[in-house]
Amino acid sequence: MTTGNTKHDQELMKKINKELVLHLIREKGPISRAELARVSNMSSTSIGRIVSEFIELGFVKETEEKTSGVGRKAVLLDINPASVYVISLELDQNATKIGLVDFNGNINLSQKVNYDPRANHYESVLKLICNSVEEFLSGHNIDKSKIIGIGIAVPGIIDAQKGTVIFSPQLGWENVDIVKYFEEKLRLKTTIDNVIKSRALAENVHGSTKGSKRTALINFGTGVGSALIVEEEIYRGATNSAGEIGHTTVDPHGRLCECGRIGCLQTYITEEALLQEAKIYKNISNVNEIFVSADSGEKWATRLLDRVYTYMGIAVCNVICMYNPDTVILSGKLIDKRPKIIDIIAKKVDELIWDPFKNTYNVKGSNLGESAGILGVSTSVINKYIDIEM
């Protein structure tokens, strides 16, 4: 219960009404003012006032008149995707993705910039990224005045409020004040968030779990992470670090993890761990060779992969036990390379899950794939913008 007052309450009410109208146009557009009034049960005066405001802000546009049945022509309203844009970035181990995302969540342009954040000082890396964004803007003749902000999805522990990367083993960064750097350099409002949380949000708003009330996403990459989305909102925890399934302990007598602790779940799952073990038996140089060996019937590879799938299944089961989601999305490089893994893991989960959870969840792949990080963080930027503008 938050404290409030009448004036504050009226403002809140207006905001709720505006958000409702925007939501309806988004979901049902093109839609007429009359239909909006009918569906929302608001007066035509209120609808007229709110819609005018949206048109002025550029969010909403009137489409060409269209014959509605036998009657007279009606002006219809729709979201104007080109009203405002977000520049979204996803910082990965070897490359930075840059995307131009419109108000409807479409990626209009995108580009990859290769870099090596672990081999260079973070300032020179940030400089490189900022220069790339400027080139992206000028190279594509993007009108900077239409950009409402920059969103950056970063792997690791992120303080989204302060705008800092607390700790990113993937980038080799600790306490990097990334938002401050971007805002000074590019003069655009900047938002950062954890990439797995961003991906999960994107899948819930635009992707394969639209309509789900409790989506968990598990990412198998250089680490293993998870995120929980409750009714289109990220569950963050006290310090934006909820979901660190990869560093839950499964065996106090197990392997040393890159985090310096013993027996973390991810020591059985990550590409690095897989590669390290495979090398005991065969001189291979990348994970793909394990899959190739397994495909050609080499027993060591099928055994190794079967164990990985089992631990992936355990990771999913443990997420289900803790979050009790209606849907679990599996994502990450390992999955992207071999989407059929999803069915293998889903079967493992069905075997391993505790009876009371049977039939409470679906296991799915992402349907946004590599775009999910960029889309998710742009959703956060757009939500923040709408929240301020209303």
| Residues between 340 and 359 that touch a second copy (CB under 8 A) | 352, 354-357
By CB under 8 A, name the one of 50, 76, 317, 363 that touches a second copy. Answer: 317
By CB under 8 A, name the one of 243, 332, 365, 373 that touches a second copy. Answer: 243
Q: Does 49 bind a second copy (CB under 8 A)?
A: no
Between the two ends of the chain, the Cα-to-Cα distance in Å is 22
Measured CA angle at 89 (ends 87, 92), to 5 deg = 170
Beta strands 190-194 and 327-331 are unpaired
Stretch that binds a second copy, among 57-65, 95-103, 188-196, 246-254 (CB under 8 A): 246-254
Cis peptide before 30 (omega within 30 of 0): yes
Minimum distance of a second copy from residue 288's CB (angstroms): 26
Q: Does 218 bind a second copy (CB under 8 A)?
A: no
Residue the block writes with tokens 């090596």: 116
Nearer to a second copy, 12 or 292 (CB): 12
Q: Which of 341, 333, 361 is nearest to 215 (CA)?
A: 361
Q: Does 34 bind a second copy (CB under 8 A)?
A: no
DSSP codes of every residue in 191-231 = EEEEHHHHHHHHHHHTSTTTT-SEEEEEEESSSEEEEEEET
Q: Does 40 bind a second copy (CB under 8 A)?
A: yes
Nearer to a second copy, 132 or 168 (CB): 168
The C-alpha atoms of residue 160 and residue 201 are separated, in whole angstroms, by 15
| Residues between 124 and 163 that touch a second copy (CB under 8 A) | 157
Q: Does 336 bind a second copy (CB under 8 A)?
A: no
Stretch that binds a second copy, among 100-108, 135-143, 241-249, 286-294 (CB under 8 A): 241-249
Give the DSSP letter of residue 248: S
- The CA–CA distances, whole Å, from 78 to 17, 31, 75, 270 equal 17, 7, 10, 45
Q: Does 46 bind a second copy (CB under 8 A)?
A: yes
Cβ–Cβ under 8 Å, residues 218 and 319: yes
Please enumerate in sequence order all residues whose Cβ is within 8 A of that of 187, keeping only pairs 6 or more positions apart, or say none.
none
Minimum distance of a second copy from residue 248's CB (angstroms): 4
Q: Does 6 bind a second copy (CB under 8 A)?
A: yes
Cβ–Cβ under 8 Å, residues 49 and 17: no
Q: Does 325 bind a second copy (CB under 8 A)?
A: yes
Q: Does 211 bind a second copy (CB under 8 A)?
A: no
The residue ranges that bind a second copy (CB under 8 A) are: 1, 3-9, 13, 16-17, 19-20, 23-24, 39-43, 46, 157, 166-167, 213-214, 226, 230, 232, 235-245, 247-252, 259-261, 264, 310-311, 314, 317-319, 321-326, 352, 354-357, 360-361
